[in-house]
Amino acid sequence: MAEALTTEADTGPRPEGASRPGRVSRFSIRYQPGFTSIAIFCFVMLYLPILVMVVYAFNEATSVSTWGGFSLKWFVSAYHNDEVVGATVRSFQIATIAALLSTIAATMAALATTRTEAYPGLTFTYAAINQPLMVPEIVTGVALLIFFSRIKIFTGYDGLSYLVAAHTAFCVPFAYLPIRARLEGMDLALERAAADLYATPWRTFRRVTLPLLWPGILAGFMLAFVTSLDDVVITEFIKSGGQDTLPTYMLGQLRRGVTPEINALSTVFLLLSIGIVTLFFFVSRKKD
């Protein structure tokens, strides 16, 4: 095997530590047997079900297993379904507010854990911020259910604020990680130069740190928004009657049987996610 990875140029004495130009790394993907086949298999298994779902969203027939011709009627049906419209509007309201609040909290937390001297408990703080990522989501949902149920009984209030608060708490680490990564990759020279020129900490943040941090903030907001938009577990535990979001509405419909309308809604969700990622890509590239 070693001879196969060495060319004819790999001969003759060389200084100790010198690289051999004809040498190919034994860990090169090209020489990993079956890597291409495994990769293709994984991509097919990942994307083929999504492709089938998208195709059958345009199915004329009511059955999801029989092709009855091309039609947009299920998209039209979903558009004129008041429950779907209400759940969609509710989902976007909750996701937008939760993403905004979690991004603000994550930005402040990232600044507090990167633009400061190391102190005892910093690692614990980092772990506490990322706790929702380490704990199973159902555990977080049960804990929030118990906590908010006491508040509901005490106050008598039963609005959407509980869902907003729960989604915000759950989305903070998703916004925190890209913002922190951006801060850690930033050069401190400009911030120090601003301080040397007698800029106040707020002015330094507004004129120097924030413009450089903006791509990370956009990434955090996007992750938090998408996470909140398609969350099911926490929403199922926290929501009250008449507060279905679009994912929980779709879950309820799936229990009654799969219809092409669900495929149409899933396709819209897919296109929305692709659109958000594409928009973020172009905006962040422009900022960079």
Q: Counting every residue, how long is the chain? A: 288
Domain presence at residue 22: no
What is the pTM assigned to this prediction?
0.77
Most confident segment among 7-11, 15-19, 50-54, 95-99: 95-99
DSSP assignment of 29-88 equals GGGSTTHHHHHHHHHHHHHHHHHHHHHHTTBSSSSSSS---B--HHHHHHHT-HHHHHHH
Whether the Cβ atoms of residue 74 and residue 263 lie closer than 8 Å to each other: yes
In a domain, 205, yes or no: yes
pLDDT in tens, 101-138: 999 999 999 988 887 777 787 888 888 888 888 888 88
Answer yes or no: is 182 within a domain: yes
Q: Are both 264 and 131 inside the same structural domain?
A: yes
Yes or no: say if 72 and 230 are a contact pair by the CB < 8 Å rule: no
Confidence of residue 11 (pLDDT cuts 50, 70, 90): very low
pLDDT, averaged across the chain: 82
Verify that 37 and 81 share a domain, yes or no: no
* pLDDT surpassing 60 at residue 169: yes
Q: Greater confidence, 66 or 59?
A: 59
pLDDT level of residue 176 (50, 70, 90 thresholds): very high
What CATH code is carried by the domain that includes residue 231? Answer: 1.10.3720.10
- Tell me how far apart the alpha carbons of residues 26 and 173 are, in angstroms, rounded to a whole number: 38
pLDDT at residue number 10: 45
pLDDT of residue 185: 84
| Shared domain check, 264 and 134 | yes
Q: What pLDDT is recorded for position 270? A: 85
Looking at the structure, tell me whether residues 99 and 143 fall in a common domain.
yes
Question: Quick one: 61 and 203 in the same domain?
Answer: no
Domain hosting residue 95, numbered range:
75-287
How many CA within 13 A on the CB side of residue 182? Answer: 24
Residue 135 shares a structural domain with residue 232: yes
Tokens coding 144: 């929030």
What's the pLDDT at 167? 94
30 band by pLDDT with thresholds 50, 70 and 90: low
Residue 164 falls inside a structural domain: yes
Same structural domain, 210 and 191: yes
* pLDDT tens digits, one per residue of 229-247: 888 899 999 988 888 898 8
Q: Kindly state whether residues 53 and 108 are assigned to the same domain.
A: no
Quick one: 152 and 103 in the same domain? yes
Q: Is the pLDDT of residue 283 over 80?
A: no
Given a cut of 80, is residue 93 above it in pLDDT?
Answer: yes
Residue-level pLDDT at 285: 65
Looking at the structure, do residues 99 and 132 belong to the same domain, yes or no? yes
* Confidence category of residue 9, pLDDT binned at 50, 70, 90: very low
pLDDT at 277 over 60: yes
Tell me, yes or no, whether 272 and 130 share the same domain.
yes
Task: Give me the amino acid identity at 60.
Answer: E
Q: Among 71, 99, 117, which residue terminates a domain?
A: 71
Which of the listed residues 50, 71, 92 is the one where a domain comes to its end?
71
- Asked if residue 8 is part of any domain, the answer here is no
Q: What mean pLDDT comes out for the span 173-198?
A: 86
Provide the pLDDT for residue 7. 43
Position 106 scores a pLDDT of 93
Instruction: Give the range among 40-49, 149-158, 196-205, 274-283 with minimum mean pLDDT.
Output: 274-283
Q: Is the pLDDT of residue 16 over 70?
A: no
Do 148 and 238 form a contact (C-beta atoms < 8 A)? yes
Per-residue confidence (pLDDT) for residue 104, from 0 to 100: 94
Which of the two residues, 34 and 157, has the higher pLDDT score?
Answer: 157
Cβ contact 256:266 at 8 Å: no
Tokens of 220: 């955090």
Asked whether residue 111 is domain-assigned, the answer is yes
Q: At how many degrees (to 10) do helices 161-185 and 122-129 cross?
A: 130
Q: Could you give the number of structural domains in the chain? A: 2
